[in-house]
Homo-oligomer: A and B are copies of this chain.
Amino acid sequence: MAATKDPRPCSIADALAVVGEKYSLLVLREVCLGNGRFDQLVRNIGAPRDVLAARLRRLVDAGLLTKRAYQERPQRFEYRATRAGLDLEPVLMSLMAWGDRHVRGGDDRPMVIEHSCGSELLPVVTCAACGGEVHHEDLTAHPQVPGWTVKGPTAA
């Protein structure tokens, strides 16, 4: 099962193997917002309960969420984001900004985020080295794995 397939090795694919299934990123969104209870997740996301249960198991196994009892008797649980999960929030913010711009029209955003600096968050992806914004035009890819160049598989 590892010889007949052979996609490009890539951390985007690896990331999506963890959070790429339907609803997973919405679970992260809700948990980051503070809505970590099962029925809140069901209502706010609109996912079937069984699918949601499967996603939660997966995200806990992958170390993005933890499940903790917020009370005993009757036992009730809550999901919380780990550091790995919280670190996805900036990615979600840029995805949200993209959705605001290119899926909705840029108008009537359903959610506005406030940054601790006091202003409304407009997330931009920048280069840590120079501080400049990151655009497609400024990027050059360097695959590190032999056989995987940037213009298709080397041979064949």
Contacts and interface: CB of A to CB of B under 8 A. Distances in A.
Q: Chain A: interface residue count, which band?
A: 35 or more
B29 A10 contact: yes
A29 B6 CA distance: 16
Interface string A124-156: 111111111111111111111100101111000
Contact of A138 (B13, B32, B115): B115
A112 interface: yes
The SS class assigned to the A binding surface is mixed
Contact of A102 (B84, B94, B97): B84
A45 B7 contact: yes
From A18, A29, A136, A150, residue with most partner B Cβ within 10 Å: A136
Contacts of A10: 26, 29, 96, 110-111
B130 A115 contact: yes
A121 B139 contact: yes
